[in-house]
Amino acid sequence: MASISFNLGLLLAELGRPEEAERQLRAALEDDSRMAPAAYNLAVLVGAQRPAEAVPLARRAAELRPEDVRYVWTLGLFQAQSGDYRGAAETLEGLLRAHPEHDDARRLLAEIYARQGRTAEAGALLLKRTSPPAP
């Protein structure tokens, strides 16, 4: 039943019906609390309007599948958007230890460091860019 609710939730989100999509994704998580993709997609769905509500959902996805970089990145993003800069920094630092090539995590962490007055660390992070700048 969880997979049916999950897939229906994704379809409803694609169709621009976020309230119904949210209900279906929540139903999927109720049926299977270990369904990381449902937690992740629900976090993304609610995060645009309610980042603080998205944090525990993104955390669940990241804890269930720590190898999925997208889940860990999303947790750090919503932590930052909800004002938990310390938690976001810890999440993103861990992500960069495992995946030093993740430039989005590097940029967000540099922004967080700058907000915290850690400008030298922010600058050092930006200098470590691994991919060439866009033309």
Q: Using one digit for the tens of pLDDT, what is the confidence trace for 85-125?
A: 999 999 999 999 999 999 999 999 999 999 999 999 999 99
41 contacts 28 by C-beta, under 8 angstroms? no
Q: pLDDT tens digits, residue range 33-84? A: 999 999 999 999 999 899 999 999 999 999 999 999 999 999 999 999 999 9
Question: Would the CA dihedral through 63, 68, 69, 70 be positive or negative?
Answer: negative
Domains of the chain: 34-127 (1.25.40.10)
Sign of the torsion angle spanned by Cα atoms 94, 92, 54, 116: positive
Type of residue at 53 = E
CA distance 55 to 46: 10
Rg (CA), the chain: 16
pTM: 0.89
